[in-house]
Amino acid sequence: MHNISRRRFLQQVSAWSAGLAVAAPLFRIAPNRAMAAVDAAPMLTVGQGTDYVALVAKVLEPLGGIGAFVKSGDRVVVKPNIGWDRTPQQAANTHPDVVKALVQLALDAGAKKVSVFDRTCNDARRSYANSGIQPAVESIGSDKVECSFVDDRKFVPVRIENGRSLNEWTFYKDALDVDCYINVPIAKHHSRAKLTLGLKNVMGVMGGKRGDIHPDLGQCIADLNMVVAPKLTVIDATRILLRNGPTGGNLADVEQRDTLIASRDIVATDAYATHKLFNLDPRDIPAVTAAYDCGMGQMDLDKMNVVEV
Amino acid sequence: MSRIEAEQLSKKPRRSTLGNFRGRGWRWARRVTQWVVLVVFFYLFRHTQLTLDPPPEHANIFFRLDPLVAASAMLAGKAMIAGMLMSLIVIAATLLLGRVFCGWFCPLGTLLDTLGPALRVGKRNKENKPASKRWWRGGGYALLTVLLIGAVLGLPLVGFFDPFAILMRGAAFAIDPLLSWSTYEGSSWLYLNAPESVTGISEPIYAFMRDNNILAFERAAFIGAWISAGFLLVIFLLERVEKRFWCRNLCPLGAMLGLFARLSPMRRKPDLSCPGCGDCMTTCRMGAFNEAGKLEPQACTLCMDCASDCTHGIAAFAWRRPAWLNRRTKTNAPRTIPLPIRGQTPSIDLSRRAFLGSCATGIALPLVSAAAMNAGLAKKPKLLRPAGSVSADEFLNRCIRCGQCMKVCPTNGLQPTILEAGLAGMFSPQLIPRRGCCEWNCNLCGQVCPTAAIALLPLETKQTIAIGRAEFDKDRCIPYADRENCLVCEEHCPVPDKAIRLSTVMIELEDGQSMELQEPFVEPDLCIGCGICENVCPLEGAAGVRVSPL
């Protein structure tokens, strides 16, 4: 609760009441990606291991550790894929251990608040629980950590200044109004987008009718990423879904890879994962090429500074 | 008869060993019980939704205790429904104690008692007519007759008149959505428009209501909610005519319990209102004293008002040897009490003529319905019933229209039929995929169905049952009609091997370039008709892929 004097309360209420007729919604959050200069040779780390908690710390180390992303007192968002009512083994959602490790690291780095959320496709309660993510995050037992369902009222309209297919869309306020946004997608097959990786994962913080952007999905995903700018993308390839994505459900379509890929450059992580995990050409992934064309990152595998840990 | 005589009457055969129920304490006990049961009812109501802990399996307990629903569903379904045998508890309690269920437990009765004074505001004559012999008095028995005969003959109408079903539907379809939507819309408006000083107050209130299950997790809306609200509203407004109008004159469950209460050994002493004061006759909320001043056990709900308020301190309730036991010894024993009120089980308020009329109606309605069906005036409808539903013919026999399956459905896709299943099928559940799909990992409707009209299937079984099949409308579906890629349906299809498949074709665009176009089609053997494809189709209005019943 915050303190406010009675006088100030009455002032605000009367000012507000008077202004109601002409008032527009108060918050308009400006896009926080100022199209920062993109590193032409981004560092990208890739590591393998079966202890996913240790692996998270290991892949972050060459990038400067969590301290390079989260400062003391920061408000942090860790955005996994919790889209589906599936178990961790079915590889439709980010692995709970990976999410939990990132949340724990952010707390250790002094984060004031760490939020974990996703706008789910199946029922939110079941998706949060059955993905294992909500239980894992809550097992940390810190009141600085919040793993709550998306609140419909918090989608705010944002202008997308340089958007090529989208010029305005609603975004989740809590995803924009943060100091550090960490993107933790799972790598899996998707018939329309071909693959769903870091760039596609941003669809979890967009409002409105998400199906509407499917005809020109690649460019729309790139446009959405102009608004949501993750400081760090960690692709969870501990197990990947090869077919029948993004929902999966058949364990025969799942492949154990015990791999994590991390970088500041979201285009680089996606391009590298496309090649390394699925043996596909990044140029065949519409979202990757669209984001690259918009100057949002590096997709040329030869120009990346890949560090294997 | 004088007061002395009445006192003597009360003292005569004292076979009760458990003492008398007398005094204000018992009225308070009744009030407290009523409130506790009402709280339990609304706790279970709120738990009739997707909660992972505890699961809503027992949310249907009120319906499983309801002997009217049990009798009707078993007679109509011609089957023993194990889960409904719990209602024997209520029968046993009624045989032992009389209609305590109506007076102490029924949540609708409690609501009527609670809201009655407010509903009667402005009514000039608040006096209760004792032993009202108005023509509608036996309505409950007439309804009961029609319902049970109708059930046997294949036209079960119990859901329209069962008090829990009416209350549950009114609360679930109308009141709860109204509460949820208005709170949500109001707080959202404040959240979006008001300064922090106001949201600092409104937001914690909203969060508290949301997090403590006062609001439904998902804001639901139901087709024809106003009809369900209307049923409830009429019952509440009738409170202006007489106290507990519904309970005394119409409730078929109350009538059924009244039949058993006649046999109960629990009786008031004296069973006559003493002419000296007669207060009990006018205060009785059930109008249970007849014209002779005798308390009729089939109408008395043991509210204990008359025993608490008795100015002479003589009225009490106690167990006595019931009249139907006396009959056997009637010939030997001299009749010490030469009053017609002794030695016979009380008669009910339904004249022979009205009873025969009810029987005739109960027989005629199913015949009319069957005739209409045979004449082709009405068709057996094909609807998307919940997975696990018994066969279409059986479904309406079993379904008691309690609305719990629709209340619990997490997507709000289960909606009440209005006329789609015929007038008699009103309020039965059907899936409207455009509103919400049948979730893959969900069998909640089977969990809460009290009569097993929707069987409780293990998830692995439920996931293989086809309730319908999706079909693409190639004049609307985006890849076919607009030659653009879309595939939102395929993306969401929860069948592990995808019941929506794709065929890739190369098409030539206007500018001469070629494009890969993915056209979806349904794999009929895999599709279970869950309707998520229809639900997520991005088209405005009707979807490009629609689920039809099999």
Contact A15 B478 (CB under 8 A): no
A contacts of B188 (beta carbons < 8 Å): 152-153
The pair of three-digit structure tokens given for residue B204, joined into one six-digit string: 């914690």
The stretch A88-106 carries a mean pLDDT of 96
Collapsed DSSP state (helix, strand, coil) of residue A257? strand
Model confidence at A276, pLDDT cuts 50, 70, 90, reads: very high
Q: What is the pLDDT of residue A225?
A: 92
Q: B401-435 in b/e burial notation, b at 16+ Cβ within 10 A?
A: bbbbbbbbbbbbbbbbbeeebbebbbbbbbbbbbb
Q: What is the pLDDT of residue B132?
A: 54
**Distance between CA atoms of B77 and B271, rounded to whole angstroms?**
41
**Distance between CA atoms of B69 and B252, rounded to whole angstroms?**
10
- Identify the closest residue of chain B to A1 by CA–CA distance: B200
Q: What is the pLDDT of residue B534?
A: 97
Q: Among all chains, which residue has been given the structure tokens 């409808």?
A: B381
What are the tens digits of pLDDT across the range A130-183? 999 999 999 999 999 999 999 888 898 998 888 889 889 999 999 998 999 999
Q: How far apart are the first and last CA of chain A?
A: 46
Q: What is the pLDDT of residue B271?
A: 74
The stretch A113-123 carries a mean pLDDT of 95
**Closest partner CB to A125 (pick from B52, B485, B487):** B52
Residue B530, pLDDT above cutoff 60: yes
Interaxial angle between packed helices B107-119 and B24-46, expressed in degrees from 0 to 180 and rounded to the nearest 10: 110
The pair of three-digit structure tokens given for residue A286, joined into one six-digit string: 């519409």
Which residue, among B412, B441, B462, B532, would best test binding to A if mutated, counting the most A CBs under 10 Å from its CB? B441
Which residue, among B487, B502, B521, would best test binding to A if mutated, counting the most A CBs under 10 Å from its CB? B487
**Closest partner CB to A244 (pick from B200, B440, B496):** B496
Q: What is the pLDDT of residue B538?
A: 94
Q: Among all chains, which residue has been given the structure tokens 């379809």?
A: B173
Q: What is the pLDDT of residue B324?
A: 65
**Distance between CA atoms of B379 and B373, rounded to whole angstroms?**
6
Least confident residue range of B75-79, B348-352, B493-497, B507-511: B348-352
Judge if the upstream peptide bond of residue B270 is cis by omega within 30 degrees of 0: yes
Contact B195 A25 (CB under 8 A): no
- Identify the closest residue of chain B to A20 by CA–CA distance: B193
Model confidence at B103, pLDDT cuts 50, 70, 90, reads: very high
Largest CA distance in chain A: 66
What are the tens digits of pLDDT across the range B386-441? 999 998 878 988 899 999 999 999 999 999 999 888 888 899 999 999 999 999 99
The stretch B54-58 carries a mean pLDDT of 73
DSSP B21: B
| Mean confidence (pLDDT) of chain B | 85
B contacts of A15 (beta carbons < 8 Å): 195
The stretch B323-339 carries a mean pLDDT of 52
**For chain B, what percent of residues have pLDDT higher than 70?**
86
Q: What is the pLDDT of residue B377?
A: 61
The answer to whether B526 faces chain A, any CB pair under 8 Å, is no
The answer to whether B181 faces chain A, any CB pair under 8 Å, is no
The stretch B30-43 carries a mean pLDDT of 94
A contacts of B187 (beta carbons < 8 Å): 153
CATH of B392-461, one of 3.40.50.970, 3.40.50.1370, 3.30.70.20, 3.30.540.10: 3.30.70.20
- Identify the closest residue of chain B to A148 by CA–CA distance: B211
Q: Among all chains, which residue has been given the structure tokens 């997790």?
A: B217
Residue B342, pLDDT above cutoff 80: no
Q: What is the pLDDT of residue B231?
A: 94
**Closest partner CB to B492 (pick from A20, A247, A253):** A247
The answer to whether B498 faces chain A, any CB pair under 8 Å, is yes
Model confidence at A206, pLDDT cuts 50, 70, 90, reads: very high
Which residue, among B491, B501, B534, would best test binding to A if mutated, counting the most A CBs under 10 Å from its CB? B491
A contacts of B198 (beta carbons < 8 Å): 12-13, 16
Contact A192 B195 (CB under 8 A): no
Q: What is the pLDDT of residue B419?
A: 86
The stretch B44-58 carries a mean pLDDT of 79
Residue B183, pLDDT above cutoff 60: yes
Q: What is the pLDDT of residue B376?
A: 63
Q: Considering the domain B468-549, what is its CATH architecture?
A: 2-Layer Sandwich (3.30)
Which residues are paired to B519 by β-bridges?
B503
The answer to whether B27 faces chain A, any CB pair under 8 Å, is no
**Closest listed residue to residue B385, CA positions, set B375, B394, B376:** B394
Contact B188 A153 (CB under 8 A): yes
Shortest distance, CA B119 to any CA of chain A (angstroms): 36
A contacts of B217 (beta carbons < 8 Å): 125
Residue A104, pLDDT above cutoff 80: yes
Q: What is the pLDDT of residue B16?
A: 40
Q: What is the pLDDT of residue A113?
A: 95
Most confident of A11-25, A114-128, B375-389: A114-128
Model confidence at A248, pLDDT cuts 50, 70, 90, reads: very high
Q: What is the pLDDT of residue B222?
A: 95
Is the distance from CB of A294 to CB of A287 less than 8 angstroms? no
Collapsed DSSP state (helix, strand, coil) of residue A122? coil
Contact B411 A129 (CB under 8 A): no
Q: What is the pLDDT of residue B325?
A: 66
| Residue A134: burial class (beta carbons within 10 Å; 0-12, 13-18, 19+) | buried
The answer to whether B501 faces chain A, any CB pair under 8 Å, is no
- Identify the closest residue of chain A to B196 by CA–CA distance: A12
What is the DSSP annotation of B278-317? -HHHHH-TT--B-TTSBBPTTT-----HHHHH-TTS--EE
A contacts of B440 (beta carbons < 8 Å): 85, 122
B contacts of A130 (beta carbons < 8 Å): 441
Shortest distance, CA A37 to any CA of chain B (angstroms): 33
Contact A247 B188 (CB under 8 A): no
Shortest distance, CA B174 to any CA of chain A (angstroms): 22
Residue B484, pLDDT above cutoff 70: yes
Domain extents for chain A? Answer: 29-308
Contact A212 B538 (CB under 8 A): yes
Q: Among all chains, which residue has been given the structure tokens 């590889």?
A: A91
A contacts of B487 (beta carbons < 8 Å): 191-192, 214
Contact A248 B196 (CB under 8 A): no
**Closest partner CB to A25 (pick from B192, B200, B495):** B192
Q: What is the pLDDT of residue B15?
A: 43
Residues 197-236 on B with a CB inside 8 Å of A are 197-198, 200, 204, 217
The answer to whether B394 faces chain A, any CB pair under 8 Å, is no
Q: What is the pLDDT of residue B524?
A: 93
What are the tens digits of pLDDT across the range B194-252? 888 888 888 889 888 888 878 888 889 999 999 999 999 999 999 988 889 999 899 99
**Closest partner CB to A209 (pick from B194, B492, B538):** B538
Q: What is the pLDDT of residue B130?
A: 53
What are the tens digits of pLDDT across the range B284-323? 888 888 877 888 888 999 998 888 888 777 788 888 776 6
Contact A16 B488 (CB under 8 A): no
Q: How far apart are the first and last CA of chain B?
A: 71
Q: Which residue has the higher pLDDT, B77 or B173?
A: B173
The stretch A179-197 carries a mean pLDDT of 94
The stretch B28-39 carries a mean pLDDT of 94
Contact B52 A122 (CB under 8 A): no
- Contacts for B481 with CB less than 8 Å, ≥ 6 apart: B474, B475, B544
The pair of three-digit structure tokens given for residue B101, joined into one six-digit string: 């269920």
B contacts of A25 (beta carbons < 8 Å): 192-193
Collapsed DSSP state (helix, strand, coil) of residue A263? strand
Shortest distance, CA B188 to any CA of chain A (angstroms): 6
Domain extents for chain B? Answer: 392-461, 468-549
Model confidence at A23, pLDDT cuts 50, 70, 90, reads: very low
Contact A26 B496 (CB under 8 A): no
**Closest partner CB to A4 (pick from B191, B197, B204):** B197
- Amino acid at residue number A278: F
Rg of chain A over CA atoms, in angstroms?
19
- CATH dotted code for A29-308: 3.40.50.11440
Model confidence at A36, pLDDT cuts 50, 70, 90, reads: low
What is the DSSP annotation of B420-478? TT-GGGTT-EEE-TTT----TT--HHHHH-TTSSB----HHHHTT--SEEEEE-TTTSH
Which residues of A fall below an 8 Å CB-CB distance to B? 1-2, 4, 8-9, 12-13, 15-16, 20, 23, 25-26, 85, 121-123, 125-126, 129-130, 152-153, 190-192, 209-212, 214-215, 217, 244, 246-250, 253
Shortest distance, CA A209 to any CA of chain B (angstroms): 7
The count of CB pairs under 8 A between chains A and B is 107
Contact A12 B195 (CB under 8 A): yes
